[in-house]
Amino acid sequence: MGAIVGTAGHVDHGKTELVKALTGVDTDRWEEEKRRGLTIDLGFAPLDLPRFGRAGLIDVPGHKDFLRNMLAGMGGVDVALMVVAADEGVMPQTMEHFEIIRLFGVKKLVVAITKCDLVEDEMAELVGLDVETLLEKTHFENSRIVKISSKTRTGLDQLVGELDSALGSFPGKDYDRPARLPIDRVFVLKGVGTVVTGTLTSGRVVQGDELVVYPKGIKTRVRQIHVHNEKRDEALAGNRVALNLTSVSKDEMQRGDIVTEPGYLESSVMFDTRLELLENVPQLKDWTRVKVYLGSAEVLARTAILGKKEIEPGGRGYVQLRLEKKAATKFGDRFVVRSYSPMRVLGGGIILDSNPRKHKRSDQIVLNVLEARASGELSNILSAHLNTGLVYIAGLRKSIDVDEQQLHKAVEVVTEEGKAERLGDILFDKSYLKKIRERTSGILEKYHKENPLQKGMSKEELRVRMKMAPQTFDLFLTNSSQFQVVGDRVKLARISLELTDEQAEERSKIEKFFLDSGFSPPSKDDVVSKYSSQLFYSLIDSGTLVRIRQDILIHKDILEKGKEEIARAVEKKGPLKLTEIKEILKTTRKFAVPVAEYLDRIGFTRREGDLRTPATRR
């Protein structure tokens, strides 16, 4: 089992000192950190707890100048350890870090009031009351507060117990989901190669796994795995992990990239969100430039606010974030937004669609879908999507990252209730399906009236008229009994091609015209000047007349007879020149050339220089 505890709190409140007291590890790795006496980047240490076992402990910087690094460390945190110094109390970065913890959706919080050896007990009590006020009316309201001293080790045993209890009550990780590792460090080890580190937020990684680095989509393989500096064959969700990767260089990756299984994520330059603004920030206007923090990534974006022009302080709204570079996200991911300049935390929210289309601000259908997605209720989400007309079941499953069996049960419910009809992998709203069937019938009815001798309307032309995707259109037609597909044509099933005696006689004359002409056929103009153009085209539709070239048609029986004669000649004489083919077909060069090219095209013959041989001959 794995889990991550992440520190939070104002600069110089004793986070790193506390981590060292709990783990024995000094997480200030850089020379500058030691010289300045403050944490600049993320630090990591293993934390051994009596009942839970080993967890990972992330030490984040408290100084406002390094908030970007703090944000990079909070994405995979299970329990936050908020640190407040007894000699200073709740400070600006305390409050900002607290809001970040809340916005990232961290479920559990334990508060450590540090440096209690420097103040009287009454002062520590007052700081505790200030902390309780900060936590009021949030889901952290009943979090445990422990007074400690890292120097004298007073209260450390109690703090360890509270962290142990918090992690013990935390729901277990889903190791069966695809592995996902947001990268927070990339480096090269001599003799080893490229190494990335991060918190494995879902699934498991096994040595030898084939993975992909997003958003670039670089394929790689896991050569080695280290968990808390120990070599392992496998890493589980909640572990602090170092992966030695093959086929990818240090320069191809950066903090914020994600290592995961192929096809699990999609890279996009926009995503739909529900955004919550903090109460003490300015109004957020449409098309504001902001910094977005996703996992360990930082991306610049513009806010396309949906349904209104702005979001008031303390309010919520649906926003499509238009990114300035690609990012890889998933439904349900949490993010935080900071203003571009001056930089301050504005709010945060949850991703509702990781790869959407651009929306119009006032599109109520889109707003309804986003509201349903924000509810997290599968039945609401499915109903909202059905109101758009149809739902691609596999696409929805991937989009909201839901269990396949759960989704199929929800689909069964709406179909049994008569609200929808399933055609293959597409779920159609019943009223929408009725509407498009009626429209299709109307188009075909008109076509048959205007073209009574045609076997049907071009399937592609009908699809374009109906504005449907090819896969959807095919399923729609094959599952609608009132329509019949004949080759590349579509007709109403009740319509049959019946000729009058006069029409049948005229059609026979056209056919005889082509039979008598052999391989020197008449032009279209010659035919339609004497006979009905509709009867002429009906012979093409039926395959009686074969189109050799756009302007040349030959009767199918004549063509088959010619192929037989060419085959016999080849068997007798060997490969044939064009002049020989012309003599066999009893035609002129004008027709012999396109006929020979047609026979090459359909694979009956193969041209080798000036000669033609059967295509099957070796």
Domain membership of residue 298 (yes or no) is: yes
Is pLDDT of 423 > 90? yes
Contact (CB, 8 A) for 208 and 232: no
Q: Are 388 and 517 in a shared domain?
A: no
15 and 98: one domain? yes
pLDDT in tens, 377-396: 999 999 999 999 999 999 99
For residue 24, give the amino acid letter: G
- Whether residue 507 sits in one domain with residue 485: no
211 occurs within a structural domain: yes
The larger pLDDT score, comparing residue 278 to residue 500, is at 278
33 pLDDT more than 60: no
Domain count, the chain: 5
First CA to last CA distance, the chain: 64
pLDDT value of residue 64: 57
Contact predicate 206/222, CB 8 Å = yes
Provide the pLDDT for residue 31. 47
* Averaged pLDDT, 474-480: 94
Rounded to an integer, what distance in angstroms lies between the CA atom of residue 25 and that of residue 31? 16
The residue segments making up the domain with residue 428 are 377-498
Judge whether 251 and 186 are in contact, CB under 8 Å: no
The domain spanning residue 587 has which CATH number?
1.10.10.10
Query: Is residue 175 situated within a structural domain?
Result: no
Alpha-carbon dihedral sign for residues 174, 179, 184, 189: positive
- Answer yes or no: do 521 and 605 share one domain: yes
Q: Between 350 and 70, name the one with better pLDDT.
A: 350
pTM for this one? 0.82
Judge whether 370 lies within some domain: no
pLDDT band at 30 (very low <50, low <70, confident <90, very high): very low
Q: Which two tokens stand for residue 87?
A: 């000699």
Q: Clarify whether residues 38 and 152 are in a common domain.
A: yes
For the chain, what is the mean pLDDT? Answer: 92
CA pair distance 114, 47, nearest whole angstrom: 18
| Cβ–Cβ < 8 Å for 612, 576 | yes
Q: Are residues 388 and 399 in the same domain?
A: yes
Residues 403-414 pLDDT 10s: 999 999 999 999
pLDDT tens digits along 104-124: 999 999 999 999 999 999 999
Per residue in 265-294, pLDDT (tens digit) is 999 999 999 999 999 999 999 999 999 999
Q: Which of 446, 471, 498 is the last residue of a domain?
A: 498
The whole-number average pLDDT for the span 362-376 is 97
**What are the tens digits of pLDDT across the range 52-86?**
999 999 888 754 555 677 777 787 899 999 999 99
% of the chain residues with pLDDT over 90: 84
418 exposed, middle or buried (CB, 10 Å; 0-12, 13-18, 19+)? exposed
How many C-beta atoms surround the C-beta of residue 81 within 10 A? Answer: 29
Query: Is there a single domain that holds both residue 19 and residue 95?
Result: yes
In this prediction, residue 76 carries a pLDDT of: 84
Do 592 and 582 contact (CB within 8 A), yes or no? yes
Residue where a domain terminates, one of 317, 336, 365 = 365
The better pLDDT of the pair 399, 534 is held by 399
Alpha carbon distance 413, 515 (integer Å): 61
Say if residue 18 is in the same domain as residue 155.
yes
Give pLDDT tens digits for 91-106. 999 999 999 999 999 9
Same domain, 320 and 386: no
Q: What is the pLDDT of residue 614?
A: 87
pLDDT score recorded for residue 497 = 76
Mark which of 260, 290, 313 sits at the end of a domain. 260
In a domain, 173, yes or no: no
In SS3 terms, 92-151 reads as: HHHHHHHHHHHHCCCCEEEEEEECHHHCCHHHHHHHHHHHHHHHCCCCCCCCEEEECCCC
Are residue 255 and residue 287 in the same domain, yes or no?
no
Cα 119 from chain centre: 53
Q: pLDDT tens-digit profile of 573-616?
A: 999 999 999 999 999 999 999 999 999 999 999 999 999 998 86
pLDDT of residue 615: 81
Say yes or no: 203 and 298 in one domain. Answer: no
pLDDT value, residue 1? 66
Question: Which range (21-35, 109-123, 511-525, 601-615) has the least confidence?
Answer: 21-35
Residue 407 lies in a domain: yes
d(C-alpha 531, C-alpha 37), whole Å? 98
In a domain, 174, yes or no: no
Look at residues 469, 466, 448 and name the one whose alpha carbon lies nearest to residue 457: 448
The predicted model gives 230-254 an average pLDDT of 95
Q: Does residue 9 sit in the same domain as residue 98?
A: yes
* Domain CATH number, residue 194: 2.40.30.10
- The more confident residue out of 87 and 68 is 87
Q: pLDDT grade, residue 39 (50/70/90)?
A: very low
Residue 249 within any structural domain of the chain: yes
Percent of the chain with pLDDT over 70: 96
Amino acid making up residue 457:
M
CATH of the domain at 118: 3.40.50.300
Contact 552/521 with Cβ under 8 angstroms? yes
pLDDT of residue 43: 82
